[in-house]
Amino acid sequence: MKMNERTTILTCVTAFLVIFMSHTQGAVAQDVTSFSRTTSPLNGDQTQQLKTFIESNTADLASESPQTVVEARKNLIAPLLRAGTSNVFREAFGKAFISSTEQMLNGSDAVSTFNLANAFQVLAFIRTGETNEMLARQLENIKGNDSQADARRNTAASMLAISLKTTPPDLIRPRQYNSIMRSILTSVNDAGRWSVLQREFEAMGAITSNRNIPDDIRKKALENEARILERTLSGMASSESGDLSRAVAPMILALRSQFIGLTGAMRQTFQSTISPALELVVRSAETNWEMIQGDMVSRNSYTIALQQSMVLHRLTSGVTDPNMEKTVNAWESGDRLEFRQSAADWLK
């Protein structure tokens, strides 16, 4: 047989194998989708099909090719987007995905931010107690204060917030909620940029705001929100710039939205829990006056924080104090003496 004929045959065989593998993977994906609505535990064949589907795609999640990674992420998410996808399927999918990506996620220092971000997105779409815990643990596991670490934490916190808002509460056990909140609080000290703190606060707020979660867990989440706000305010003094101050306004705005949506005893709990933090927002403005006033972006952001703190104080207490408006006006005009006096009258 001539060399060129042999080459032609090998090329045809290779092409056939590629097509065969593509159809095989497509069939596996179709099989996975076919039982995504099951309410019965997966049988042996289904479990193996799911494992094969996930392992083949998670291997591509670690690829150096961005296109391959994106395609893998889309493939993995597709069965989870189908209307009627059952909790049984999500639980099985989550366990298999975590098992398949454990080495990748635990060795995150050696994995690119892009690859991790796509893995985090898949975790957010699975929506189980276990996958929410895994996302929360990533906040603890990511170390360092450089821009790359901040980008990873920001993505993990963003995906956690989305996942907590969309995961049915009955899929997250009380123990898991406690674990998630503990991980968020632990990571706050290493948050770095203000945007990371904002996302972590948003994730905690997703628990507070959900009326279908038991009140004792929601109250604990609210207390943790107050802690995150207080830590942010105390961290401003040790910050080299007014950067952290930019996280305060989004937090106050989020708290205002939460309060409007609360009813009954949770409203009373909110007032007693958040009022001390609102006072600290005002006191921190005076303590960090030069740093915040010296940066236009931070100054404008903190103006909103003070304005919304005034609004939230009025909503929670039902009291309108003219000194609150004087305090905000003094801040905006840069009159520190007037600010100090009016704030003292407001907070006395």
Average pLDDT per run of 10 along the chain, which is 348 residues long?
42 35 40 88 94 94 94 95 92 96 80 93 96 93 80 92 94 96 88 84 95 95 95 80 82 95 89 92 92 90 94 88 89 93 85
Q: What is the pLDDT of residue 145?
A: 74
| 337: enclosing H helix or E strand | helix 336-347
Cα distance between residue 69 and residue 184, in whole Å = 27
Task: Give the SS3 label for residue 334.
Answer: coil
Instruction: Measure Cα distances from 206 to 166, 224, 258 in Å.
Output: 9, 12, 9
- Residue (of 288, 205, 217, 314) closest to 251 by Cα position: 205
Q: What is the pLDDT of residue 323?
A: 85
How far does the chain reach from its first CA to its final CA, in angstroms? 98
Q: What is the pTM of this model?
A: 0.86
Q: What is the pLDDT of residue 243?
A: 79
Q: What is the pLDDT of residue 191?
A: 64
Q: What is the pLDDT of residue 240?
A: 59
- The structure tokens listed for 325 are 């408006």
Cβ atoms within 10 A of the Cβ of 82, count? 14
| 169: enclosing H helix or E strand | none
CA 42 to chain centre: 30
Cα distance between residue 50 and residue 92, in whole Å = 8
- The structure tokens listed for 180 are 């998630």
CA 233 to chain centre: 21
* Inter-residue contact 139 to 153 (CB < 8 Å): yes
**Cα 212–40–86 angle (5° rounding)?**
40
HSE (side-chain half, CA atoms, 13 Å) at 96: 23
Q: What is the pLDDT of residue 195?
A: 87
**Cα 339–340–346 angle (5° rounding)?**
85
